[in-house]
Structure 1
Amino acid sequence: MPERSEKVFRVMLRMQIKPGMETEFEKVWLEVGDSVTTHPANLGQWLSRGAEEDGVYYIVSDWVNEPLFREFETSDRHLQHRQKLHPYRSGGSMTTMHVVAALPGAAGGTS
């Protein structure tokens, strides 16, 4: 039976990083990440580097629900976080979604 996850609200950012700034961007992202992960409604976040396009990163974060994410999105905490990452960006987009179900893979264990 699939795990029910419909209360999870997922946000995916696609960020285009300025050429030559990728390593510094990754470093700063790690340094400021706790401004997101220490928020009581945050379930975790992940940074991935695109495999098909140079300088493209994806940031995925999971939240307890959409209203609490939207509250964070307009907070001073979030604005300060964005300001620290903004100098590295040359473009990007945001997609939001509600997780409907999750199926753990064989390598993920039985937790």
Structure 2
Amino acid sequence: MSEGAFRVMLRMQINPGMEQGFEKTWLGIGDVITGHPANIGQWLMKSAEEEGIYYIVSDWVDEPLFRQFETSDEHLEHRKKLHPYRSGGSMTTMTVVAHLTGRAVEVAAG
């Protein structure tokens, strides 16, 4: 991940009992995001502390290209498929200032 990338973090509250369906749907439609030429990658994380809370992080080449995607028909369709699972959420955006590679990555690389 290079410095200067634009990062988006979503916090999603999932309706009780719908977590597995949400995860399956997210995985099934994830290529809408990762297939975009400006997308660097995305991650789905489940809170270890709060029941029904998920975080989605996606990295983009830059903010203008993310904003262009954010208003696209593809993204609006993507959101419609996830919306039934949600009871709330928020979005935070940021620019990556620096990235330090951890020792475990260096050891694994050999």
Cα displacement (A) at 1:4: 5.7
1:82 counterpart = 2:82: no
SS at match of 1:60: strand
Cα displacement (A) at 1:108: 1.4
Identity %: 69
Tell me the alpha carbon deviations over residues 40-98 of structure 1, each in whole angstroms, 9 at most, x when there is no partner. 00000000000110000000000000000000000000000000000000000000000
1:28 counterpart = 2:18: no
RMSD between superposed Cα atoms in Å: 1.4
Cα displacement (A) at 1:22: 0.1
Question: Structure 1: 5+ residue runs without aligned partners?
Answer: none
Moved over 3 A (4+): none
* Count of aligned pairs: 108
1:47 counterpart = 2:44: yes
1:56 counterpart = 2:42: no
Aligned match of 1:5 in 3, 6, 14? 3
TM-score by length of 1: 0.94
Question: Structure 2: 5+ residue runs without aligned partners?
Answer: none
